[in-house]
Structures are given as C-alpha cells and as structure tokens.
Amino acid sequence: MSNFDPQLLNSREKLLTPQTSFRATLEAHGVYDAQRFVVRLSPLVHTQLNSLPNGVNFATGMSREQVQAYSTYLHETVHWWQHIGSTCGFMLSLSFPAQTHANIPRLKEFLTKVGPVKSVFEYVAKGSGSGGDPDTPQGVANIIVNNRFDIQAYRFLATNPDRAQPLVNEPLFESVGHAYQIAIGQGLLALANTVDPTSETLPHPRDWEADYAKLREERYEGFYYGSPISLSPIGAHHIFEGQARFVQLQYLHFGSGGRFEWDDAEKLGMMGPIYTVAFEVFLKQSGLQKPASIDDPIVGLFLIICDIAMNPGEGFPLPIWSAKTFLSDVDPGIRFVQLSAVVRLFCPEVAKAIQKYDAEEYEAVSSALCTPLRTYTPLDNCRAIAKWVAQGDGIQTCLARHEIGAVGKGNVAIDLLFGQFLSYSRDKLHHPHILCWPGAAMAGKNLSEESAGVMSRQSPLFIDRAEDEMIVPVIRAGLDEATVHETFQAFYSAQALYDLTFQWIARPGEFTYDYRWLQPNGSATQMKIWASGGFERLYGVSPDQFRLLAEA
C-alpha cells in the first residue's frame, strides 16, 4: 500500500529509565514520557487530529493522513495504558513517587541530625565506616541512599535487563530479589498510606518478610548478596514498544480495509529493532513462523502474551504463590519468555485461536497460557481489584474522585494514578479484548460505540499543546473544567516535589528548577517559587538554605 507518510507514523525511541529533562517533539511525532505521565505529539500530528470533527476520535470516513496521525496517538495511548493499567507498569509508575514517600521520615530525621546538607549521597560518600547503627546520622543517610537505589534498581531490572550489568556491579546492589521486594513493597505502602491506612484491603509487604528472610538465610539464588544473577534477555521496555507498535500496525491494517501490510511498515521504517525484538523472541520461543498478514491470529497471540506478561498478579493484587518463584512470577521479561514457550510446549492450538478479537477469545486464550505456569490471568487481577472497590471505603472514594476529575488532599499523585488504575481495571474486566487488541477494535469491521467509550474513559490525562508544547490536562466528556485544572496543578506540584527530593538525595551542586517541559513560557523565577514552595512546606526548610558538599 503506498502514499503513507512516515512523518505521521513514527514515535521516537523512548527511554523508560528516569528522565530529568525532556527534548520537545518538534523532531519526533509521538512520545510518552513515563516519568511525567504525558503524551507528546508533533505539531503535524496535532494538526491532523484537530481536523477531525470532534477532536481526537476514530470516526469512519477519516482521510489517510488522519488515520496515520491517529495511529501515532493510539501508539502513545497504549504506552499510557501500559504504565497506568498493567500491574507491572503501575508499579513502575508508583516507583517514582515511592522513592520520595519511602524516605520522607528519614529525610526529616536527617535534617534534625545533620541539617540542610546536599547531597545525601555525597554525605554518605564522605562518611567513615559503614554507618552502623541506623539511628546515627551516617546510618540514616545510608538508609535514604539505599532506599532510592533499590527502587531505581528494580525499575532498571524490570525494563532494561539487557543493560543492567553496570547496575549489578554497584557496591549498593544487594540482589535482584531484594530490589523487587523493596520496590513493590514500598509501592504498596505508599498506596496503603493514601487509600487504605489500616491495611484492611490492600496486600501488605509484611506478609512476605519472613519468607524472604528465610531465602536470604538459605542463600537461595537471586535473594542474597553476591548471588549469581540470571536476567531475562528482554524487559518491559521491549515488550511495551513491541505491543504499542503492533497495535498501531493492526489499526493501520484494519483502518485501510486490509491493504496496509508488512512491506508497507518496512518501507515506512516502522519495524526497527526496538519494536520487533519482543516479536522475534516470541516467534523463537513459540516455534512459530512470521505470519503472512498483520491480521493473522499469530499477531493477536503475540499481543495477548505481551498483555499477560506485563500483568503479574503475585503480590499485587493477589497473594504470592511461592516466595521461591517470586522473581519468575513477577518479572515481565521472564514471564514473556515463559508464556511464549508455553505455546510450543502445552497449547499450540492457541496459534489459530484468535479470529474475532472478542472477550471470549481473550479469556479462553489467557487461561490456556496461564494454567501451565500456575500464574494468575489478567482477569483474575481485575476481579480481585473489583473486590477492593466493593470492600474498601478509601478505595471506593478514590475511584469516585477520579470519575469527577478530582483528587484527594493527601498523596495527590498516588491518589490520581490509583484512581486511573482502578478505572482501567474496571474497563478491562468488562472489555478485555478492546484493551488487548485496540488496533483491531477501533478500526474497520470491529469499530463500535463500546470501543469509543473505552477509548474516551481511558484517554491520557495529560497531553502537550501543538503551538508551544505546554502540558495541559485532557478534559474528558462530562467533567468540570475548573476541577480538572485544579487536579492538574496539584499533580504537577507533587511531581516538582519528587524532583527536588531526588536532587537533594542524589545530585551534587545547587538545586535546579528546569520545569520548562511543563510551562515553557514561565520565567526561571516563577518556576523556582512554584517548585520550592511545596518542598519547604513538607520539609520545613527552603532549598536556598542547603549547604553544598560538592559542586555539580
């Protein structure tokens, strides 16, 4: 199929590791920023989307240019869903605020014992001895640095294990199991403090502690310092990019009446390694051949394996099957490889099972894949989360706030992200096929009002403006604009607090206030006043009062 424009189709290769600055998308056509929770689109894509009758939608009768632009928007929306709707992605998203919330009590203690000194990392490096007693100034500082490192290590191991060798050689690195246990545990604690303070509904990491302590004592591989390290050849980064690209390909295929095919994607530069490595691993492990058409059931099978791999249930939201298999149960890359092999070893019939892209096929195939591994299906997760909503008053309230565009007054960012997660889970319980195969559901013969409703409810919360790349909230249908803007302001104030806390812990030199990614027209003075105010309210000290231990 000819006459497709690569200027409207390709997303820039994205880093899922933390970012503290962001290059605007004048040179790229779509990007999801996983740390700032925003979808950015090029002016060209914005122009085409804005030419649609009702803004961003997927109405029939769209021009070729509009279809292409919408496919890029869909690609980036899938990244939003991955980070806010899957259990793995949600824990990765929580890891940013968790790095602050896990350390707030210790940081306040550090201020009492040491004073406003920056950075904590430099304080540890200049100290003598191991720190010993955790109540000493050096001990408090060690805990702060270790908490941050462990959560950072989890994020890197889960997303990019292929580049993790320098990380695991760091003296601070304890073990893979330790990093996962700390990060997921701190994420759960941050959630509980926000919506379930008595821990009556959500899982609590204390329930795991005895089992993991025993594994450390027994020197079980993956759970003790110096343990041999076995990592998956791919991680969440590869799975996320593969899923988003193949969803986009399906949308273009169905939206063109089946005319858009592999050779078109190749010619347009859409099949680069970052987008195909997961598909190649899937084909190798499953023993399948690359199909002749994008509409082949094998492509649908690849997408459901991506979906299951990024949705472990062990520990969150369901109980852990076995502490010994915890890593293989929750690591997205290991899950992906194992699920792909299950096709070859246990259920080769699923290679032809996806024909209608409907909910019945989703449930049947996911069950067939998960049963041999004794792992929960994504729908098991959704049913458990639905029980949380039914039983937990704080969780019900969080979802109710989300539905009117509001947010709680406590841990604002966590409250907002969890409300979106609950909403997504509810839609997934009732419409799993739409969220697994959105490219098939939102174009061609499968297009429906049901698909449109899901897309509207699960659209990104934040997007950039075409004219100046300022981040703005998406005003969903039926929501009060003033309420949504208030939520937006509160959310990004929390993001600034997390950034300044990160700088205090880990970055030498003066505090910086590089927030032009949020408000490109704001002055440096305005940005500093806005960001430092929240920091001072929480910690009781202004960033200007800090004594620097090293220059940047």
The answer to whether the peptide bond before residue 317 is cis (omega within 30 degrees of 0) is yes
Q: Two tokens at 272?
A: 């680069």
* DSSP class of 86: S
Q: Is 464 helix (H, G, I), strand (E, B) or coil?
A: strand
Q: Helix (H, G, I), strand (E, B), or coil: what is residue 391?
A: helix
Domain ranges for the chain, please list them: 94-217
What are the DSSP calls for 105-121, one per residue? HHHHHHHHHT-SEE-HH
3-state secondary structure of 339: helix
- Give me 437's structure tokens: 């195969």
Return contacts of 223-230, CB within 8 angstroms, 24+ apart. Answer: 223/175, 223/176, 223/177, 223/178, 224/175, 225/174, 225/175, 227/175, 227/176, 227/177, 229/168, 229/175, 229/176
- Nearest Cα to Cα of residue 177 among 138, 224, 218, 126: 224
- Residue identified by tokens 């320098």 is 166
CA atoms within 13 A on the CB side of 213: 6
Q: Are 110 and 141 in contact (CB under 8 A)?
A: yes
Q: Are 247 and 78 in contact (CB under 8 A)?
A: yes
One-letter amino acid identity for 71? S
- Cis, bond preceding 86 (omega within 30 deg of 0): no
Which of these, 109, 95, 317, 107, lies nearest to 186 by C-alpha position?
A: 95
Q: Would you tell me how many other CB atoms lie within 10 Å of the CB of residue 436?
A: 26
CB-count exposure of residue 528 (10 Å: 0-12, 13-18, 19+)? middle
Tokens of 517: 């990614």
DSSP states of 2-16: ----GGGTPPPP---
pLDDT at residue 443, rounded to an integer: 87
Which residues have CB under 8 Å from 307's CB, separation 6+?
A: 86, 243, 366, 378, 435, 436
Q: CA-CA distance, 131 to 361, in Å (whole number)?
A: 56
The DSSP 8-state label assigned to residue 445 in this structure reads: G
Q: Is the dihedral of CA 360, 361, 367, 370 positive or negative?
A: negative
Residue 234 phi, psi dihedral angles, 5° rounding: -135, 165
Phi, psi angles (nearest 5°) of residue 37: 60, 40
Alpha helices in 160-235 (DSSP H): 165-168, 176-195, 206-217
- 3-state helix vs strand vs coil in the chain, percent to 5: 60, 5, 35
Which residue type, as a one-letter code, is found at position 368? A
Cα 171 to its chain centre, rounded Å, is 27
Grouping H, G, I as helix, E, B as strand and the rest as coil, residue 467 is coil
**101 DSSP 8-state letter:** H
Beta sheet of 462-464, edge-to-edge order: 30-33, 38-41, 462-464, 471-473
- Give me the residue label for tokens 């050849």: 233
Can you give the pLDDT of all 552 residues of the chain as single tens digits?
546 555 666 544 333 343 322 222 334 588 999 999 999 998 888 888 888 765 444 455 678 888 888 999 999 999 999 999 999 999 999 999 999 999 999 999 999 999 999 999 999 998 854 556 888 999 999 999 999 999 999 999 999 998 888 888 899 999 999 999 999 999 999 999 999 999 999 999 999 999 999 999 999 999 999 999 889 999 999 999 999 999 999 999 998 889 999 999 999 999 999 999 999 999 999 999 999 999 999 999 999 999 999 999 999 999 998 999 999 999 999 999 999 999 999 999 999 999 999 999 999 999 999 999 999 999 999 999 999 999 989 999 999 999 999 999 889 999 999 999 999 999 999 999 999 999 999 887 778 889 989 999 999 999 998 888 789 999 998 999 999 999 999 999 999 999 999 999 999 999 999 998 888 888 899 999 999 999 999 999 999 999 999 775
pTM for this prediction: 0.93
Task: Please give the single-letter amino acid code of residue 504.
Answer: W
Asked if 234 and 161 touch (Cβ cutoff 8 Å), the reply is: yes
d(CA 460, CA 417): 11
What integer pLDDT is reported at residue 27 of this predicted model?
A: 42
